[in-house]
Amino acid sequence: MGWKPLKGETAVITGGSGGIGSATALELARAGADVVIGYKEGRDRAEETAKRCRDAGADARVVRMDMSDRASVEQAIRSVCSLRSPSILVHAAGISRPGLVQDVTDREYDEMMDVHVRSAFHLVQAVLPGMLRVKRGRIILVTSIWGETGGSGEVLYSAAKGAQIGMVKALGKELAPSGITVNAVSPGAISTPMLDGQLPFEDQRALAEEIPAGRLGRPDEVASLIRYLCLPEASYITGQILRVNGGWYT
């Protein structure tokens, strides 16, 4: 079977029915971690990911989370803690609503901030007691290139992702004395169902031509970096925004 560096760890991954979340769950499972796959919609896809994780030798379960609702998040984390407190949190859930800023409704604003910002706070507050007790943990947010550069037609999404980046930088400082690292992975254009829902194939091909690497990224390339950040040898990396974008923004 080989050495599994995350054996004995329990990882909570949100967005488990999406491209990056699913790839991350499988990557951590292959490294030996037991995984809890959070989803709000797309239970069938989350269950399929869990099956692949079990085939890799991990204990895997799925749990529905409404991350705008603190009680829902806390209940989901309590169900995990009945076995073992999570030592890894990966917040990969995300939505995008492209459009002009003047057309953004209050409902769209609330939904965007709930999924990316409010949920991050709820999740961190839910897992922190267990991590602080043992003075060890990994918290990783999947943000976006638009949180760093801003995207025309993506003002609301850019604002939400920028808020995540600020949270990571501050929380990394706050939790470093407790042995808990906090980092963000900032993907560029990654071939996921979310991107497929936004851009037709011809537009994706044109976008790839703008990227120095000449192609879109793959979810497993983001997941591999997340896996590294969970390892013991990454314990001195915290408060960082690590880019996976093929040289699109440096």
φ, ψ at 132 (rounded to 5°): -65, -30
Q: For tokens 């995300």, what's the residue? A: 94
CATH code for the domain of 74: 3.40.50.720
Q: Is residue 212 part of a domain?
A: no
Q: Is residue 129 part of a domain?
A: yes
Q: Is residue 206 part of a domain?
A: no
Q: What is the pTM of this model?
A: 0.95
Q: Is residue 4 part of a domain?
A: no
- Coil, helix or strand at residue 89: strand
- Could you give the CA distance from residue 132 to residue 179 in angstroms, rounded to a whole number? 8
What pLDDT score was predicted for residue 82? 66
Q: For every one of its 250 residues, what pLDDT tens digit does the chain have, with 9 covering 90 and above?
A: 578 999 999 999 999 888 999 999 999 999 999 999 999 888 999 999 999 999 999 999 999 988 778 888 888 888 877 667 899 999 999 998 899 999 999 999 999 999 999 999 999 999 999 999 999 999 999 999 999 999 999 999 999 999 999 999 999 999 999 999 999 999 999 998 777 777 788 889 999 999 999 999 999 999 999 999 999 999 999 999 999 999 998 8
As to burial, measured by CB atoms within 10 angstroms (0-12 exposed, 13-18 middle, 19+ buried), residue 74 is middle
Q: Is residue 196 part of a domain?
A: no
What is the number of structural domains in the chain?
Answer: 1
Which residues participate in catalysis according to the annotation?
Answer: 157
The single-letter DSSP state of residue 117 is I
* Helix or strand run (H / E) with residue 225: helix 219-230
> 153: domain range?
10-190+219-236
Q: Is residue 197 part of a domain?
A: no
Q: Is residue 249 part of a domain?
A: no
Residues written for the chain: 250
For the chain, the distance separating the N- and C-terminal CA atoms, rounded to the nearest angstrom, is 38
Q: Is residue 126 part of a domain?
A: yes
The residues pairing with 37 across neighbouring beta strands, listed in sequence order, are 13, 62
